[in-house]
Amino acid sequence: MRVNLTVNGAKETVDDVWEGESLLYMLRERMGLPGSKNACEQGECGSCTVYLDGVPACSCLVAAGQVEGREVVTVEGLAKGSSGVDEQLDPVQEAFVEAGAVQCGFCTPGLIVQSHDLIERVPDPSDAEIREALAGNLCRCTGYEKILDAVRLAASRKAEAAAR
């Protein structure tokens, strides 16, 4: 089947989509967007988190056909400018790099989208709010402490930028 959608601001048409396939599969295997990761395909790990019409969702649990006419933003869509030219990382991405919140990096795209959403909704999140927001994102490497640091750093950077 054919699916029409907007991904990271661009209108796209994808052909030969299998009716039972997930949005995650379509993004990774048919659209050249491997940022969202496939680690469980059952909603447990959050590595595949994307925005669907502005709301974070596990893309492995959305049927590709369900995004017809809708808007998806993946981790690839958060930075401004184009890769290798004038790319400007989102403050959340920068904070993850600086805080050392990335080891193998497999969980990172999902955590970045989920943290991005948290800070949009709650500009100055408490530790309890951060833990609650990230409860559906598993990381097997970092022990989470540096991820919490990164979210706190990103929130304060965004607040500074907004105050300027």
Partner 1 sequence: MDFLRPTTWADALAAKAEQPDALPIAGGTDVMVEINFDLHRPPALLDLNPIKELATYDTAEAPVLSRGDDPPHPPVKSGWLRIGASVPYTRLINELGDALPGLAQASRTVGSPQIRNRGSVGGNLGAASPAGDSHPPLLAGNAVIEVESAARGVRMIPATEFYLGVKRNALEPDELIRAFWTAPATGAQYFSKIGTRNAMVIAVCSFAIALHPEERRVGTGVGSAAPTPRRATAAEEFLSNELDWDGRTPFSVSAAQRFGELVKEAASPIDDVRGTADYRKHALSVMARRTLTWAWNDYRANKIAGREAS
Binding interface with ligand FES (CB under 6 A): 38-41, 43-48, 58, 60, 102-107, 139-142
**14 or 138: CB nearest ligand FAD:** 138
Name the one range near ligand FAD by CB under 6 A: 16-24, 42-50, 105-113, 150-158: 42-50
The CA distances from residue 43 to 22, 36, 38, 58, 62, in Å, are: 12, 13, 10, 6, 10
- Pairwise CA distance, residues 159 & 164, whole Å: 9
Buried b (16+ CB within 10 A) or exposed e, 99-118: bebbeeebbbbbbbbbbbbb
* Interaction partner, residue 56 (ligand FAD, ligand FES, partner 1, none; CB < 5-8 Å by kind): partner 1
Instruction: Point out which residues bind partner 1 (CB under 8 A).
Output: 1, 18-20, 22, 41-44, 46, 49, 55-58, 60-63, 65-66, 68, 114, 132-133, 135-137
Phi, psi for residue 19 in degrees, rounded to 5 = -60, -25
* Interaction partner, residue 106 (ligand FES, partner 1, ligand FAD, none; CB < 5-8 Å by kind): ligand FES
Question: Which amino acid is it at 90?
Answer: D
Phi, psi for residue 49 in degrees, rounded to 5 = -65, 130
**68 or 127: CB nearest partner 1:** 68
Binding site for ligand FAD (CB under 6 A): 42-44
